[in-house]
Structure 1
Amino acid sequence: MTTARFSADELYEIVETYASFGNHHTGTPADTQTTAWLTDVLRSLGASVHEDRFEFDRFVCTSELRVAGQVVPALPVFYCAAGEWRTTNLSVVDVDVGIVGNPRGLDLYLDADPDAAALVMAIGGLDDHPVQCNRVPQMPTIPGRPAVIIPGNWADRVRGADAELTFAATAEADRSANVIATLGAADAPAINITTPLTGWTPAAGERGTGLAVALAMASDLAADHHVTLSVCSGHEIDHTGLKHYLASRDVAGWPVVHLGASVGAIEPDSTGPAGLGNQRMVLATASGEVRDEIDRRVLAANWRLRKANPWPGEGGTWFEAGASVLSFLGGSSLFHTTADTAAAATTPQAMALAAEVAIDAARLFLDNHR
């Protein structure tokens, strides 16, 4: 990878390698291995790299839900309770899939049916694949109840049978690190590129595609900009790494390009170019003619320039901190499921198109800051 713009196959290889580390939970061995790999990639591009470490409470849990002796595909709700349980006193609660990216989205559901000893959250989506939900990394101040998430297509089977849940969980002090890199001449115009590092699953489409585009963009823009690339851990637990990074910086007015969820993710039935999914949007603080030019350019990769209040994702965290932000986002039917592998989530052609358009839009955005 020696050219400014990576080839389509090189972009896809980045996604494939990222996903190969497994579930990217913050603070796990997969997180540590990903950090080491990314550091090596950045140094091969000539970047100066360091780790920005932070501490947090990591939720550690084993759980199993059975119906008539059959194991139900289920995931624990993180930070719901600490202790050990074995119970058949369960309540199945239907949950809106729209809340999965909101770290406080499950909070109200966790108060459901106070007579039940444990909760089973049914979330619609890909059959037989539970959809994990983002969480704030804090245990409840009052005794909680064990809770697990199941696929929506299992809800009636669990309701209509004698189900049993075993659950054991605790919170342990742990640490993780953001990867911070700089490229380009120090006296060149500054640009900050950012993308999350962690997630619940292999996250090929959700996280890997954004990381690949961020690397290509950083390499390209470093030709005439001083690039700071911040790849932050803790995304799935309330942007913990990014909040740590921003806590010691005044970013008001900084030009920031955020590569968020599913930047290069495809959908089999998409009408978009290269199969890029239809749930794609760009948010920008740019106005006037620059905004119109960005709008026209991003259409080529099936993005739509939108207005949103509040801004979603880590781009919103930067925006709230006062930065000037261009944010790329997408959606996918594989989102937050273990089916989000490279082979299912994207293609070299989709990656090349997403990277080319995002880089061009970023240059338009930066014209507003000269």
Structure 2
Amino acid sequence: MAFQIDRRQTMLAGLGAATALPAMTAHAAGPDPLFGAALYADVKAYAGLGEHRTGTAGDDATTVWMERALKAAGYAVERQAFDYPVFELGHVDIALGGRMLESFPYWTPVATPAGGITAPLSPSGGAGKIALLDLPIGAGGGLESPPPPEIVAAVNGGALAVVAITENPLGEMAALNRNPKAAAWKVPVVLAAGREADALKAAAAAGRSVTVRLEGHSVTRPAHNVIGRRAGPGKPIVISTPKSGWFHCAGERGAGIAIWLGLARWLAASTKDNIIVVASSGHEFDGYGAHHFTQTLAPKPADTRMWVAIGANVAAYDFALEDGQIARQPVPQATRTLGVSGPLVALGAKAFAGQRGYDKPLDLDAHNAPGELATFRKLGYRPLVGLVAGHPLHHTRRDLADVTDGAMLEPVARGLQAIIATA
């Protein structure tokens, strides 16, 4: 990625830590692992480990960090390894009229020749051209989403490369999920930010040349699910969350991981329950690691007391554009879902009373749910409890530590604590 993006990330990460400190002072440090300050410290620790793509150095560092945290809490910890093809990304950008535009590959990448590919940008693509596409919001972003048909058509139509504009509410470039172990594209396919749409479309209309550069190579590496077990009487309570994602993922993954760790520590210190906690890699590839765990090491539905699935963006502030700048809002995002098995609907509403979106639980016995929660529902785990939410910075490089803080995290953690303690 370009130097300017790296510098911007560093500045924003520092800003996030500074602006969150006043909210953290409401909770003095103490033994309760669900205090907001403790939870937010874990968000910052996770985001600070780097980008979290499956099988990369950031994902490996997350594995080690989680193992240490769970062992310190008294869990027996194991890694569940699986081999995964990892694209080691070197450099990616789009050169247009002397500007370097932020870009990112669409998986599975194929590299450009050294120096990139220079050709006229065209809205219709075709031989000798670089195709320009404008994807609808949400295209290719969810689990088990097929590749956008516009990209497939452009690749098969003979374009030298494809530039796909990802429309995000804040104009950011948003990475797209991909099917597990999908074959590499025949030509380089890169993503561009929505804020660059006008410039790119004007260039395509005029037939101006651009240079697409995508450097990197593919290797096969082990990725790991992290599993903690604390033996106790009866059937186990399982608490799951994904641990991998495209970038720093502070809100998308970090908020849920912090709550997951907080609940794990609370259960180990305060109960005698039989507990299994699992953090799965491969999430951005259709939840690959979660599927692997349920097919191998997970207890069967009939042998499980409860499954709690903590998904994406579960405790993050909303963001909006104000005078052209991305600004945090004083409320959580509106699109938040608490899904619970039918008998727990009333309990869920009480536990999350007053929490936007979560205070009206979705009955999972009557309705499906998004994300990995749908996987566990389909497999028959009951009772099932899960959180998942959308966010305007989902899958973007701007998803940094200031998307949340202790004041946002603690009520969500307390809601789950109340359900687990009561159900």
Distance in 2 between residues matched to 1:316 and 1:224, nearest whole Å? 29
Deviations 1:66-125 (A, max 9, x none): 111211111110115466461422222121222312343434232233242221111122
Q: Which moved more, 1:156-165 or 1:79-88?
A: 79-88
Q: Which moved more, 1:13-22 or 1:170-179?
A: 170-179
Structure 1 unaligned regions, length at least 5: none
The one-letter code of the counterpart of 1:256 is W
Instruction: Pick one of 75, 88, 95 that aligns with 1:60.
Output: 88
Return closer, same or farther for 1:170/1:107 CA change in 2, 3 Å cut-off.
Answer: farther
Matched, 1:205 2:215: no
Cα RMSD (Å): 2.4
Return closer, same or farther for 1:310/1:341 CA change in 2, 3 Å cut-off.
Answer: same
Match for residue 74 of structure 1? 103
The alpha-carbon deviation at position 281 of structure 1 amounts to 0.4
Deviations 1:318-364 (A, max 9, x none): 22222222111112211111111112x10111111111112112334
The alpha-carbon deviation at position 277 of structure 1 amounts to 1.9
For the residue of structure 2 that corresponds to 1:166, the secondary structure is: strand
TM-score norm. by structure 1 comes to: 0.88
The alpha-carbon deviation at position 251 of structure 1 amounts to 2.4
Matched, 1:187 2:233: yes
Deviations 1:146-165 (A, max 9, x none): 11111112122112222221
Match for residue 104 of structure 1? 145
Q: Which has the larger radius of gyration?
A: 2
Match for residue 298 of structure 1? 352
The alpha-carbon deviation at position 2 of structure 1 amounts to 7.7
What is the number of equivalent residue pairs in this alignment? 357
Distance in 2 between residues matched to 1:47 and 1:277, nearest whole Å? 34
Distance in 1 between residues matched to 2:175 and 2:288, nearest whole Å? 17
The alpha-carbon deviation at position 224 of structure 1 amounts to 3.7
Structure 2 unaligned regions, length at least 5: 1-28, 120-128, 321-328
Matched, 1:86 2:117: yes
Instruction: Pick one of 227, 242, 256 that aligns with 2:307.
Output: 256
The alpha-carbon deviation at position 138 of structure 1 amounts to 2.4
Instruction: Pick one of 370, 373, 376 that aligns with 1:315.
Output: 373
Deviations 1:133-187 (A, max 9, x none): 111232438x62211111112122112222221234543211111110013x422
Superposition map of 1:210-289 within 5 A: 210-222=256-268, 223-249=271-297, 251-253=300-302, 254=304, 255-268=306-319, 275-284=331-340, 286-288=341-343
Match for residue 167 of structure 1? 214
The alpha-carbon deviation at position 35 of structure 1 amounts to 1.0
The one-letter code of the counterpart of 1:106 is P
Are the aligned partners of 1:93 and 1:112 in contact in 2 as well (CA < 8 Å)?
A: no
